[in-house]
Amino acid sequence: IKRRLEETLKTEANISAAREKYRPAATRGSLLYFVVADLGLIDPMYQFSLRYFTQLFNTTIENSTKSEDLNQRLQIILDSTTENIYTNVSRGLFEKDKLIFSFLLCAEILKLQGVINDIEWNFLLRGGLVTEEKRPPKPNHDWLSLEHWNQALLLVGVCDVFKTLPHDIEHYQQPIYVQINPELRIVISSNDITTNVPSDYNTKLSDFQKLLFVKAFAPYSLVQSITYFVA
């Protein structure tokens, strides 16, 4: 009996160790499910049961390419489940909602990886408000609106990469813009629309932080920018 008990405990330990190695796949599955479940907040018609999701997720894993290398196998599972669930769920969405689904899926994965934090995410969704007592006076630039100045002040509290933005605007010496794609450039100064001089902000901002820049200074271009972001 003692020997059987020891064998049982050893087997359970091996199973637990093997299960732990595949935890990233389970984490991705949970992330995918909750993004899909939240689609009901966009339109009540979007109802995907847990049973449907589980069957699709498990079938995808079973049919995915096998590999003896654990890291390669995990990557195959992550890629195949994400792609297959995205493809199947998208078929049931209105065209206007597919971009939202794509962006939510992409953003949640990046949040899990630590690329996006909650402060950045909340600013993109809700923006912010500068109180009068905390607002330094707007620099006397004819190209700078009060709204853009307020947005620059707000971005300071979103992430460190924007800490010097108000100073850079006030003591304007070089272009301040981001290039979203070859056809779309978001500028603060009208003098930078066609300049070939590089912008530090275009270089040092991550792709997601560029969306925050767009949100602050050109919200009318946010949908176009998000489309390029998820492409």
Q: Which pLDDT belongs to residue 161?
A: 96
**Segment-wise mean pLDDT, segments of 10 residues, the chain, 231 residues:** 65 68 93 96 95 96 94 96 97 96 97 95 90 82 92 94 95 91 89 80 96 97 97 89
Domain boundaries, the chain: 2-114, 126-230
Q: Which pLDDT belongs to residue 53?
A: 96
Q: Helix (H, G, I), strand (E, B), or coil: what is residue 172?
A: coil
Domain 2-114 -> CATH class: mainly alpha
- Whole-angstrom distance, CA of residue 210 vs CA of residue 216: 10
Please give the sequence-ordered ranges of beta strands (E in DSSP) within the chain, or none if there are none: 177-181, 184-187
Report residue 149 as tokens: 């100045």
Q: pTM here? A: 0.87
Long-range contacts of 188-194 (CB under 8 A, 24+ apart): 188/143, 188/144, 188/148, 188/152, 188/217, 189/141, 189/143, 189/144, 190/143, 191/143
Which residues lie below 8 Å from residue 134, measured CB to CB, with a gap of 6+? 153
